[in-house]
Chain A
Amino acid sequence: EDQVTQSPEALRLQEGESSSLNCSYTVSGLRGLFWYRQDPGKGPEFLFTLYSAGEEKEKERLKATLTKKESFLHITAPKPEDSATYLCAVQAAYSGGGADGLTFGKGTHLIIQP
């Protein structure tokens, strides 16, 4: 069974204080690892897709990296508007039976204080 564990559950930072969020996963063959941002009462907003170990992607203050067992979302000099829940999800190479969805972690609730 595919599993995704995110840590920490919650993180409070001062504006400008860089940090990293962790996503550990076990999957029967990784087809893709995804990072999303979710604001309260809204659907997840796509950030990144990573496919293979060693891959990195950047977008503004965010950078996602991937190893064979985990992924990190690095946040550099965050601003209050970066406050949100960050979700990590994996898609297995073969789900079987036509089911093809993502397995999500519980997320990291990030608060950036001014």
Chain B
Amino acid sequence: GAVVSQHPSRVICKSGTSVKIECRSLDFQATTMFWYRQFPKQSLMLMATSNEGSKATYEQGVEKDKFLINHASLTLSTLTVTSAHPEDSSFYICSARRGVETQYFGPGTRLLVL
């Protein structure tokens, strides 16, 4: 139990385009999902908290107009990187909270913006 999937696993796009990443909890319902970003040899940095049916809460320094988050159902959250630039290239990882505390993570999406 507690499986989280992400799609796509890897994406390459041109500068200026938008990219959508999906995060799904496969065997449980998650009222809260999270989006993290991880740069090479760095730890995970929280970008935003996504609650089903309400607006996401963004961490300081994360542009909400650039990183659009939608949590349309209890099993699906999406992150759209709008007008992507090379500096947005990173490893994006989502997590879903099961129960009160524990977050289970997806396998991550590697984004490369050329």
Task: Give chain A's interface residues, CB within 8 Å of chain B.
Answer: 31-32, 34, 36, 41-46, 49, 87, 89, 91, 97-107
Contact = CB atoms under 8 A, between A and B. Distances in A.
Given A101-B34, A106-B42, A106-B43, A34 B103 contact: yes
Nearest to B34: A101
A91 B99 CA distance: 14
Nearest to A44: B105
Contacts of B51: 98
Contacts of A32: 101-102
5 contacts: A44-B44, A49-B102, A87-B43, A101-B34, A102-B44
Contacts of B48: 99
Interface string B1-16: 0101010000000000
Interface of B: 2, 4, 6, 32, 34, 36, 42-46, 48-49, 51, 54, 57-59, 91, 93, 95, 97, 101-108, 110
B93 A44 contact: yes
B44 A104 contact: yes
Given A34-B103, A100-B32, A46 B2 contact: yes
A31 B36 CA distance: 20
A102 B103 CA distance: 9
